Amino acid sequence: MNNLLNFLINSQTNFINLIRFAIFIVMIWIGGLKAYQYEADGIVPFVTNSPFMSFFYENADKTALNEEGKVVKEYVLHKNPEGKIVDKNIEWHKLNNTYIFSYGLGSVIVIIGFLTFSGIWFPKIGLWGGLLTFGMSIVTLTFLISTPEVFVPNLGGDSPTPHYGFPYLSGAGRLVLKDIIMMAAGLIIASDCAKKIKTTGKNV
């Protein structure tokens, strides 16, 4: 047991660097996927319903009637299932600035990943990477409040849906909730970089 404890204590720096690497992988992978149509389409419900980001879209405030005659936000009628291409939906998303925004967002996410990973060698750069990771995670977590799709809907069926609405997270909601871990990791990275900066006596 003592050997294990000593190993964990002596490896703390390596573990923090592992966090940096983990954030780097997530940011590069997810940010890179923002260049592809299916991923760009997938973030539309989050962005459209966000009070902080909806202004990036042309059609965020537009509504329409669905097949049941109910008024819904227009994007609901133009969702592309992952792995399926529907030309009319693609055209709608082009007019909505869906893809242009996704390219920009993806670039920002990739940059944050590089900044965070660079903190292994350059604490001043890593500090900003950690803080930006924290900030991005805070924005992402607001989707739990603003996006209807993060909770299981009541779609009916052969019997009443027993679990829907809060606190029953959908797949999208479970994905968003994981950003709590990214938020904490960003602060750990920023704290470690700040410690290194103070130790070397250099100002940011």
Residue 10 lies in a domain: no
Burial of 44-56, coded b for 16+ CB within 10 Å and e otherwise, reads bbbbbbbeebeeb
* 196 belongs to a structural domain: yes
Mean pLDDT calculated for residue range 110-121? 97
Are 23 and 182 spatial neighbours (Cβ–Cβ below 8 Å)? yes
Evaluate whether residue 4 is within a structural domain. no
- Whole-structure pTM over 0.85, yes or no? yes
Cβ atoms of 180 and 187 within 8 Å: the answer is: no
Q: How far apart are CA 117 and CA 123, in angstroms?
A: 10
Residue 5 lies in a domain: no
10-19 pLDDT, tens per residue? 999 999 999 9
Per-residue model confidence as pLDDT tens digits over 94-112? 999 999 999 999 999 999 9
Q: How many CB atoms within 10 Å of residue 131?
A: 19
d(CA 189, CA 178): 17
Q: Is the pLDDT of residue 85 over 90?
A: no
In a domain, 111, yes or no: yes
| Dihedral (Cα; 151, 38, 109, 97), 10-degree rounding | -100
Structure tokens at 87: 């030309």
Domain annotation covers residue 13:
no
Helix, strand, or coil (residue 191) = helix
Query: What Å distances lie between residue 16 and 13, 114, 116, 119, 128, CA to CA?
Result: 5, 15, 11, 10, 16
In the chain, how many domains are there? Answer: 1
57 within domain boundaries: yes
Q: Where are the beta strands (DSSP E) in the chain?
A: 63-65, 71-73
Question: Which residue reads 């049941």 in tokens?
Answer: 68
| Structural domain span for residue 29 | 18-200
What pLDDT digit, counting tens, does each position of 59-76 carry? 999 999 888 889 999 999
* Mean pLDDT in residue range 163-180: 94
